[in-house]
Amino acid sequence: MPRFVFLILGFFFTGLGLVGAFVPLLPTVPFLLLALWCFARSSQRFHDWLYNHPRWGPPLRQWNQYGVIPLRAKIASCSMMTLSMAIMLWTTDLHPLGYIGIGSFLLCVGIWIATRPGRVPAVAEEQASPPQ
């Protein structure tokens, strides 16, 4: 894809991420990760700006370096997936295999999220902090 398309997508995902900072059910960091990926293919300047941003940079760097998903984000993600499944069960009329398939997929995603580290390893924190 041309760089211009990646640049536009980067801005689109950045916008969605910023909206997600204010809308409770819309995630922020996953959209910013997508934006970072798009900017890496289109604009080093915007990639570096987002990666080093004082507010949004730290969770992006923690994911990039250590695969960290903070506990709060894990709880929110798994809660929303559970709520989504409950709403779907209540409001739709799918074949039972459809519910089983979707539920299995959400369960696998939830397990994957739950097994990611919840914080930066202690060794990395020690290396990052200046000596006193």
Distance (Å) of CA 89 to CA 28, 82, 83: 27, 11, 10
User: In the prediction, which pLDDT does 76 show?
Assistant: 87
User: In the prediction, which pLDDT does 125 show?
Assistant: 63
User: In the prediction, which pLDDT does 13 show?
Assistant: 96
> In the chain, which stretches have pLDDT less than 50?
none
Tokens representing 7 are 């640049």
d(CA 31, CA 104): 24
Is this model's pTM higher than 0.85 or not? no
Distance (Å) of CA 128 to CA 120, 122, 125: 11, 10, 5
User: In the prediction, which pLDDT does 124 show?
Assistant: 64
66-104 confidence digits (pLDDT tens): 999 989 889 988 998 999 999 999 999 999 999 999 999
